[in-house]
Amino acid sequence: MNAPTQRLAGKVALITGAARGQGRSHAVRLAAEGADIIAVDRCADIDSVNYPLATDDDLNETVKLVEASDRRILATRADVRDLDAMRAAVDAGVAELGGLDIVVANAGIAGYAPVLTLEADAWTDMIDVNLNGVFWTVKAALPHMLAGGRGGSIVLTSSAAGLRAMENSAHYVAAKHGLVGLMKALALELGRHRIRVNTVHPTTVNTAMVQNPMTRALFLPGHVDPPQERFAKVAQSLNVLPEPWAEPEDISAAVAFLCSDEARLVTGAAFPVDAGMSIRW
């Protein structure tokens, strides 16, 4: 990547799920473009999710990487399902960093089961994290953005599965579609304050959410821990472009654009970064 420009100089960005994967990449990219970062992650597993979530060490690594860009970062362990904890994390970040201009509501979980065997706790956890948690994130952030009076940008991380359905993940599909409705409602209400709201819709992304034995086995039924190359072939068949998956940095480039003044007239948009997945599928 060429050295990014300083499109976000003087801004403060709240990023959830910032300990690893796309969230960490967003923190690093927005910091490289000049933003200070309020980072939030749960850093603990969730019982109904059968791959490990991030750890304290992961969040510490994000802090190091942002500080290497000479930007400030306040990192907090908090669960997006807990509005009080989110408010405390955001209030502390704003007090330390002096405002709030950008929200990237990225924290999320994945899970797979046919509807018939989809357990109630898996459904509830999915909607709580991937839909309610996004709303609580916005709710904790909004008073600060409005108080700043300088507009802003909110990006909600949906998925290609927020534009088209897929089998064996009704809870994920429902939550990610729900984010499109939430995004449009927020964009309508917040436009008069020059706060823009958009969703991003990634294809498969090369992160621990999919690069784990459970997810690979879903793409390749009958294999206990299918090798990466076979998984790559199946993943590529879902895309139009001849690529198996996006790297987190590909999604960060879109997020950085949506958060910059170059996107000053972009709001209410569902922005695919999906190698064409949503037109093929």
Ligand X SMILES: NC(=O)c1ccc[n+]([C@@H]2O[C@H](COP(=O)([O-])OP(=O)(O)OC[C@H]3O[C@@H](n4cnc5c(N)ncnc54)[C@H](O)[C@@H]3O)[C@@H](O)[C@H]2O)c1
Residue 152 beta carbon to ligand X: minimum distance, rounded to whole angstroms:
20
Q: Should residue 169 be labelled a site residue for ligand X when binding is judged by CB under 6 A?
A: no
Identify whether 51 is a catalytic site residue: no
Measured CA distances, 3 to 104, 127, 184, 228 (Å): 22, 38, 33, 31
Q: Should residue 42 be labelled a site residue for ligand X when binding is judged by CB under 6 A?
A: yes
Strand partners, 205: 246
Identify residues 149-168 at the interface with ligand X (CB under 6 A).
157, 159
- Structural element, H or E, at residue 188: helix 170-190
Residue of 210, 218, 254, 256 interacting with ligand X (CB under 6 A) = 210
The piece of 16-24, 68-76, 191-199, 264-272 that touches ligand X (CB under 6 A) is 16-24
Angstrom distance (rounded) from CA 262 to CA 44:
36
Q: Should residue 275 be labelled a site residue for ligand X when binding is judged by CB under 6 A?
A: no
Identify residues 56-85 at the interface with ligand X (CB under 6 A).
79-81
Angstrom distance (rounded) from CA 66 to CA 68:
5
Identify residues 228-257 at the interface with ligand X (CB under 6 A).
none
Report the sign of the C-alpha dihedral through residues 216, 220, 226, 227, in that order. Answer: negative
Measured CA distances, 73 to 32, 70, 90, 170 (Å): 12, 10, 12, 36
Residue 53 beta carbon to ligand X: minimum distance, rounded to whole angstroms:
4
Residues 112, 123, 136, 172: which is the catalytic one?
172
Would you say 107 or 142 has its CB closer to ligand X?
107
Residue of 17, 152, 178, 244 interacting with ligand X (CB under 6 A) = 17
Q: Should residue 107 be labelled a site residue for ligand X when binding is judged by CB under 6 A?
A: yes
Q: Should residue 93 be labelled a site residue for ligand X when binding is judged by CB under 6 A?
A: no
Q: Where are the alpha helices (DSSP H) in 72-169?
A: 83-97, 120-127, 133-148
Number of residues counted as binding ligand X (CB under 6 A): 30
- Structural element, H or E, at residue 60: helix 56-67
Give the dihedral of Cα atoms 176, 212, 225, 116; nearest 10 deg: -30
Q: Should residue 202 be labelled a site residue for ligand X when binding is judged by CB under 6 A?
A: yes
Residue of 32, 76, 101, 108 interacting with ligand X (CB under 6 A) = 108
Residue of 37, 66, 89, 129 interacting with ligand X (CB under 6 A) = 129
Measured CA distances, 212 to 60, 100, 216 (Å): 22, 35, 6
Residue type, 13: A
Active site residues: 172
Q: What is the binding site for ligand X (CB under 6 A)?
A: 16-17, 19-23, 41-42, 53-54, 79-81, 106-110, 129, 133, 157, 159, 202, 204-205, 207-210
